[in-house]
Amino acid sequence: MVNTLTKPQALLSLEDYYLSLLEEEKGILSSSIATQAKKRLKQYGLPTNRHEEWKYTSLDNLYKAKPLLNNEAKINYGNENLPLKHTADMIIVSVAKQTIIGNVPTGLSIDFTNNNQAIEQFNARFNEVLPEDPMLSLNQALCHRVITVNITKNTVIEAPIVIDYGNDGASSFQTQNAILKSVQVVVSLEQSAQATLLECHRNLTGEKELSIIACAFNLAQNAQCQHYSVSNQQMENQHFWYGYGSVGRDAHLQSNSLVAGEQLARRFFCNDLNGEGAEVTVNSAYQAKETQTLDIRTFTRHLKPNCQSMQLHQGLLDDRSTGVFNGMIYVDPVALKTDGQMDNNVMLLTPQAQNNSKPQLEIYADDVKCSHGFTCGSIDKNQLYYMRSRGIPEALARKQILKAFIARVTENFPSYINV
């Protein structure tokens, strides 16, 4: 049971709220997943800052959110505000509307039903990795949308598959609570398949929103998946994203994310390199201001020989914001010739901004190449001087330096994405 002795009142009240919500509301995942999730939430409750994983990311101000009601008739928005230059040749999947716009080519299937084995498998895997995570448990217990994307063997999908998390559920939502958006996405690429997946996190309601997304990538042998994630969410948003990648032999998963705007965000990406020669790239740019807390976490497991993982996380922290990075590269005893790199670079723009970084390596194999690094500094005065000595005004010089800092990640975005 939840230990109530040392918790702040705010957390206890939140726990009460969510435990009773779980009695009232039901998600659409199988009852075994949901029941387990409920049990875990009851057992572990919400963490205080004494919990190692939640030391710098407080849940004290978590919204008391209710699931978005499934009233499709009142959803009347289009693709116009997506952060995309054009959408003509894209496959746009609306999570709220459960619709697909664009031509779905042969070899690609997109499904909104919840009864498939892939979902069971990846939730089981997540439960092993994050058994105590309350947000993941909430997602599983109250999940109200599931999207399964499958690409068959040798199929190359040229058009980007856009997952649009936008909703305007306000009209169907009459209480003062925030909206809970709880979604699971499973992307499976069969042997030698290729696809690009773009996640657009957006809130069109203007209401407070708590979104919890769990997203799985299953890459079979030689498959290639490009994943991008962008958000144009407002400060009213709280956002939790849990990613899991299973990357097979000679397969390549490449992920680039831009995290900004949310009042509170955590992105956790776990990748298992399950086949020899597998490659994973996980990059993120996080930009925080005011009192935002942005928290980036990765857990990369090298389980087979000759795999490569590359990570670059660029943080830009202004005002009194907080950045958190926690990354772990685990190298199994059999994973010889592993090449793992993880870098976290942070620029603090005020003395009040803070970043807490913990890059870690756990290596059980000989003959591996692994590195992890963290840098933290303020804007380089010499760069400013150099630019200004060429006639560029200070404000513009500053802006360009910051843009360039973030561009180390955002330059990987295809040109059709506005960043």
Residue of 376, 407, 412, 416 that binds other proteins (CB under 8 A):
407
Residue of 69, 100, 376, 387 that binds other proteins (CB under 8 A):
387
Q: By CB under 8 A, is residue 413 in contact with other proteins? A: no
Residue of 42, 64, 398, 408 that binds other proteins (CB under 8 A):
408
**Residue from 192, 202, 184, 285 nearest 241 by CA:** 184
Q: Is 291 left (phi over 0), alpha (psi -120 to 50) or beta?
A: alpha
Q: How far is the CB of 387 from other proteins (least distance, A)?
A: 7
Q: Where are the beta strands (DSSP E) in 204-320?
A: 209-219, 224-231, 237-247, 252-260, 264-273, 279-288, 293-302, 308-317
Q: By CB under 8 A, is residue 389 in contact with other proteins? A: yes
Residue of 58, 121, 383, 412 that binds other proteins (CB under 8 A):
383
Q: How far is the CB of 110 from other proteins (least distance, A)?
A: 36
> Site size for other proteins, by CB under 8 A?
23
Dist CA 314 CA 403 (whole Å): 11
Tell me the three state secondary structure of residue 23. Answer: helix
Q: How far is the CB of 347 from other proteins (least distance, A)?
A: 12
| DSSP symbol at 263 | S
Residue of 401, 412, 416, 419 that binds other proteins (CB under 8 A):
401
Tell me the three state secondary structure of residue 259. Answer: strand
Q: How far is the CB of 401 from other proteins (least distance, A)?
A: 7
Q: By CB under 8 A, is residue 382 in contact with other proteins? A: yes
Dist CA 181 CA 172 (whole Å): 14
Please give the distance of CA 310 from its chain centroid, rounded to a whole number. Answer: 17
Report 154-193 residues binding other proteins (CB under 8 A): none
Cβ–Cβ under 8 Å, residues 181 and 167:
yes
> Which CB sits closer to other proteins, 147 or 397?
397
Distances in whole angstroms, Cα of residue 359 to Cα of each of 87, 198, 308: 38, 27, 17
Binding mask 294-333 for other proteins (x = CB under 8 A): ----------------------------------------
Tell me the three state secondary structure of residue 115. Answer: coil
Report 40-59 residues binding other proteins (CB under 8 A): none
**Residue from 17, 10, 70 nearest 176 by CA:** 17
Residue of 400, 412, 416, 419 that binds other proteins (CB under 8 A):
400
Report 342-381 residues binding other proteins (CB under 8 A): 380
Residue of 13, 85, 369, 386 that binds other proteins (CB under 8 A):
386
Please spell the DSSP secondary structure of 179-200, one letter per residue.
EEEEEEEEEEE-TT-EEEEEEE
Cβ–Cβ under 8 Å, residues 357 and 328:
no
Residue of 111, 171, 394, 414 that binds other proteins (CB under 8 A):
394
- Residue for token digits 């389980």? 303
Q: How far is the CB of 386 from other proteins (least distance, A)?
A: 4
Q: By CB under 8 A, is residue 398 in contact with other proteins? A: no
Q: Is 319 left (phi over 0), alpha (psi -120 to 50) or beta?
A: left
Entry field: residues in the chain:
419
> Which CB sits closer to other proteins, 328 or 384?
384
Q: How far is the CB of 392 from other proteins (least distance, A)?
A: 5
Q: By CB under 8 A, is residue 405 in contact with other proteins? A: yes
Distances in whole angstroms, Cα of residue 183 to Cα of each of 96, 143, 178, 281, 325: 10, 5, 16, 24, 24
Task: Mark the segment that binds other proteins (CB under 8 A) among 33-41, 279-287, 351-359, 407-415.
Answer: 407-415
> Which CB sits closer to other proteins, 354 or 400?
400
Footprint on this chain of other proteins (rule: CB under 8 A): 380, 382-383, 385-394, 396-397, 400-401, 403-405, 407-408, 411
